[in-house]
């Protein structure tokens, strides 16, 4: 036993990162033989993997864009730590002072084995990139790995209000810059024997897979990166040039500060109450993909923090017959309007989407509005997490029925409040209106919930209605959790506070907290 403990201490001394002992963990002297053996196995495995990656990266020249902070900085440090004896790093960014600090940090941590060349560069201009590549010192010219990390997002404006400057900055940096840098480096790779060799690692985003309100331009840029990367991989399939895309979810970096034009309070609020990814999490994945054997390509990687990964929400669409519940649901799920259909008894639909930077799986139950099926209501009310109370603005009767549905939900749930949203459908039929918008807003205020008018036919506010109820479920669950852990004293009936309702009756979708890498 003594020999085993001595071995572990020596092993940990060889690699200070291999065993993270702290005051919160048991000391080695208190570990059982089984625990000690597990530590040895884990430490040996991690050191072996790190050693293998270090050998594969040995002697490489690596170019990282956007390296002054965030993921770029973390990636530079991770490469240096993984292969500290013989590595060259070319680090670019607009902020040269920050780049020099990164270079100094690498030198302090790993010594002279890693040579670092910091270069001030704005990738949004092609002429800058061409000049940068042409003027690289001879010992840094033979680039082996390109990490296209530089990127940004500006603002949360919706399509009609997006500033032209923001649009151009995002496309020039996120798309044009990435493509131009790839075009500049690719000939270096292709000059190598057997059709060429090298790694192109492009930083995409979950936003390139799932668009969200208030992020249309950023989402479009990352969708473009995804398409470019896919096409490039196919073009180079016969070579040894690996093309890799890494799509992070929510990552806490300076990225969000840029989005809110330097407003750190707004940026910090994005991460309140959750545990996002860190820049180091993404950097480890980048280095891991670059450190695989030459015949292994980790082509496409999607990374979420635990709280963001595919949370399922059980939504129930409730209302009288003929108000358009099925049309709303089908428009959300299938993006088309159904002119004619048989009255619904009960249909279930599922759709994956991204709401405020979190992946969500919507399980939507479209219910029967006819009175003969009223006996089924309590059953679906028991299982629902959130309810869309739908009436038609062309039917006063359907509006007056809503109170009955709301009271039944609260009775079944045994709550004073539960996540609901009031939906006035068929707003495209303005000439047939029997229920004013003011009446809808007044009823919503009495419920303490959000109000929104929709049109399934014209696809007005359809996504927003479903997304808003998900937001309310999240808010409600967070409050319930805080009351449970903090002894709020409300028992099973939950918090008394209801949903904050905009006095202006805001029907927009985004809560201005959508931050996506």
pLDDT tens per residue across span 88-105: 999 999 999 999 999 999
Q: What is the DSSP letter of 455?
A: B
Task: Indicate whether 327 and 272 sit together in one domain.
Answer: no
Q: Is 435 within a domain?
A: yes
Q: Is 213 within a domain?
A: yes
Q: Report how many domains make up the chain.
A: 2
Q: Is 54 within a domain?
A: yes
Which pTM value belongs to this model? Answer: 0.58
More confident site: 401 or 507 = 401
Task: Indicate whether 300 and 346 sit together in one domain.
Answer: no
Q: What are the backbone angles phi and psi of residue 18, rounded to the nearest 5°?
A: -75, -30
Whether the Cβ atoms of residue 348 and residue 363 lie closer than 8 Å to each other: yes
Quote the tokens at residue 56. 């594969």
Task: Indicate whether 334 and 442 sit together in one domain.
Answer: yes
Other Cβ atoms within 10 Å of 485 Cβ, number:
8
Q: Facing residues of 145 across strands?
A: 62, 199
More confident site: 485 or 87 = 87
CA gap 331, 317 in Å, rounded: 13
Query: Of the candidates 224, 93, 210, which has an alpha carbon nearest to the alpha carbon of residue 167?
Result: 224
Helices vs strands, H then E, count in the chain: 16, 13
Q: What is the DSSP letter of 177?
A: I
Q: Is 41 within a domain?
A: no
Q: Is 22 within a domain?
A: no
Task: Indicate whether 289 and 228 sit together in one domain.
Answer: yes
Q: Facing residues of 423 across strands?
A: 390, 452
R_g (Cα) of the chain, nearest Å = 28
Q: Is 18 within a domain?
A: no
Q: Facing residues of 386 across strands?
A: 315
Task: Indicate whether 487 and 400 sit together in one domain.
Answer: yes
Q: What is the DSSP letter of 344?
A: P
Identify the top-confidence range among 27-41, 46-60, 245-259. 46-60
pLDDT of residue 347: 77
> 86: domain range?
47-307
CA gap 470, 478 in Å, rounded: 12
pLDDT tens per residue across span 170-190: 999 999 999 999 999 999 999
pLDDT of residue 411: 93
Q: Mean pLDDT, to the nearest integer, of 219-245?
A: 97
Q: Facing residues of 315 across strands?
A: 364, 386
Q: What percent of the chain has pLDDT over 90?
A: 59
| Domain CATH for 62 | 3.40.50.720
Whether the Cβ atoms of residue 238 and residue 196 lie closer than 8 Å to each other: no
Whether the Cβ atoms of residue 322 and residue 398 lie closer than 8 Å to each other: yes
CA gap 364, 471 in Å, rounded: 15
Helix axes 178-190, 216-235, angle to 10 degrees: 10
Task: Indicate whether 302 and 342 sit together in one domain.
Answer: no
Cα angle 127, 129, 131 (rounded to 5 degrees) comes to 70
């Amino acid at each position: 036993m003594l020999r085993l403990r001595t071995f572990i201490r020596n092993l940990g001394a060889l690699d200070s990162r291999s065993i993270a002992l702290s005051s919160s963990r048991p000391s080695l002297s208190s570990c059982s033989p089984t625990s000690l053996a597990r530590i040895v196995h884990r430490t040996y495995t991690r050191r072996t993997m790190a050693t293998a990656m270090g050998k594969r990266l040995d002697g490489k020249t690596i170019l990282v864009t956007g390296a002054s902070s965030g993921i770029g900085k973390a990636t530079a440090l991770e490469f240096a730590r993984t292969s500290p004896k013989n590595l060259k790093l070319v680090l670019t960014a607009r902020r040269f002072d920050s780049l020099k600090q990164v270079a100094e940090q690498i030198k302090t941590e790993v010594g002279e084995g890693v040579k670092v060349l910091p270069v001030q560069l704005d990738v949004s201009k092609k002429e800058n990139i061409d000049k940068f590549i042409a003027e690289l010192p001879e010992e840094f010219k033979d680039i082996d790995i390109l990490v296209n990390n530089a990127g940004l997002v500006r603002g949360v404006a919706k399509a009609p209000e997006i500033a032209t400057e923001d649009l151009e900055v995002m496309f020039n940096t996120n798309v044009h810059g990435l493509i131009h840098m790839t075009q500049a480096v690719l000939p270096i790779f292709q000059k190598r024997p057997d059709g060429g060799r090298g790694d192109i690692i492009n930083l995409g985003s979950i936003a390139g897979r799932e668009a969200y309100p208030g992020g249309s331009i950023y989402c479009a840029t990352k969708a473009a990166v995804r398409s470019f990367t896919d096409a490039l991989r196919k073009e180079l399939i016969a070579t040894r040039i690996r093309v890799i895309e890494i799509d992070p979810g929510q990552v806490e970096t300076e990225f969000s500060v840029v989005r809110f034009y330097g407003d750190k309070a707004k940026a910090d609020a994005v991460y309140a109450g959750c545990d996002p990814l860190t820049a180091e999490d993404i950097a480890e994945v980048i280095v891991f993909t670059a450190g695989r054997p030459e015949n292994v390509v980790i082509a496409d990687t999607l990374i979420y923090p635990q709280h963001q990964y595919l949370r399922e929400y059980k939504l129930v669409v409730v209302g009288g017959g003929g108000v358009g519940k099925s049309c709303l649901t089908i428009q959300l799920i299938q993006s088309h309007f159904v002119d004619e259909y048989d009255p619904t008894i009960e249909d279930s639909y599922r759709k994956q989407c991204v709401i405020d930077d979190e992946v969500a799986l919507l399980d939507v139950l479209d219910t029967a509005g006819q009175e003969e099926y009223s006996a089924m209501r309590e059953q679906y009310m028991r299982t629902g997490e959130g309810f869309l109370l739908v009436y038609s603005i062309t039917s006063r009767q359907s509006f007056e029925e809503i109170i009955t549905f709301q009271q039944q939900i609260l009775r079944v749930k045994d709550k004073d409040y539960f996540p609901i949203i009031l939906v006035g459908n068929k707003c495209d039929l303005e000439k047939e209106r029997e229920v004013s918008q003011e009446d809808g807003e007044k009823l919503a205020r009495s419920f303490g919930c959000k109000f929104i008018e929709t049109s399934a036919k014209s696809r007005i506010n359809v996504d927003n209605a479903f997304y808003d109820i998900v937001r309310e479920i999240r808010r409600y669950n967070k409050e319930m959790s805080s009351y449970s852990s903090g002894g709020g004293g409300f028992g099973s009936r939950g918090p008394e506070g209801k949903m904050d309702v905009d006095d202006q009756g805001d029907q927009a979708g985004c809560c201005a907290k959508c931050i996506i890498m």
